[in-house]
């Protein structure tokens, strides 16, 4: 049962998957990822499993790789359309769209874990693999001239000595 981004966690399929996860923080992350996946697909856990099993039973010449195609589309949706919500206490409002590379990779891995619980593996190699997550270095690069300007603007001689030490 999908209702907005609220998932019914009682079905046996979801319980079976969540019981394999030991760490509470991982379980929380995976539940978030599966909630996003159901928001993306509009399908329940049993519908997702049924569809994947149907595709796996097909002749290799007729197989459509439903899981692989959907996971790649899910990754793209996460990067561009996933509603980012505010954090902290109180009501969480949508503040933007799209998530970071690493978070999108984690969410796709969580969904792959869900399918793997039922013997449905998704190989993402070659052209079908996801792009490598790129971490942006947010450190400020300070050059010598900028340090000199900062020291020159110190209010007292003591502060100038502390800054130049």
Q: Which pTM was predicted?
A: 0.72
Percent of the chain with pLDDT over 90: 35
- Write out pLDDT tens, residues 91-106: 888 888 988 889 999 9
Q: Are 122 and 112 in contact (CB under 8 A)?
A: yes
Q: Confidence band (pLDDT; 50, 70, 90) for 123? A: confident
Token pair for 5: 């981004």
Sort 40 into a burial class: Cβ within 10 Å, 0-12 / 13-18 / 19+. middle
Nearest by Cα to 47 from 96, 84, 17, 11: 11
**For helices 144-152 and 157-164, angle between their N-to-C axes, nearest 10 degrees:** 160
């Amino acid at each position: 049962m999908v209702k907005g981004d609220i998932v019914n966690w009682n079905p046996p399929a979801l319980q079976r998957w969540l019981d394999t996860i030991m760490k509470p923080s991982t379980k929380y992350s995976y539940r978030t990822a599966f909630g996003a996946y159901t928001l993306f697909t509009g399908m329940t856990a049993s519908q997702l499993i049924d569809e994947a099993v149907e595709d796996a039973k097909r002749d290799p010449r007729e197989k459509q790789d439903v899981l692989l195609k959907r996971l790649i589309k899910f990754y793209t949706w996460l990067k561009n359309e996933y509603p980012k919500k505010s954090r902290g206490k109180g009501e969480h409002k949508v503040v933007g769209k799209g998530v970071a590379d690493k978070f999108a990779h984690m969410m796709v891995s969580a969904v792959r874990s869900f399918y793997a619980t039922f013997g449905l593996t998704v190989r993402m190699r070659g052209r079908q693999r996801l792009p490598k997550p790129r971490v942006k270095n947010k450190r400020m690069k300070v050059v010598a001239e900028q340090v000199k300007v900062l020291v020159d603007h110190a209010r007292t001689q003591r502060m100038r000595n502390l800054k130049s030490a």
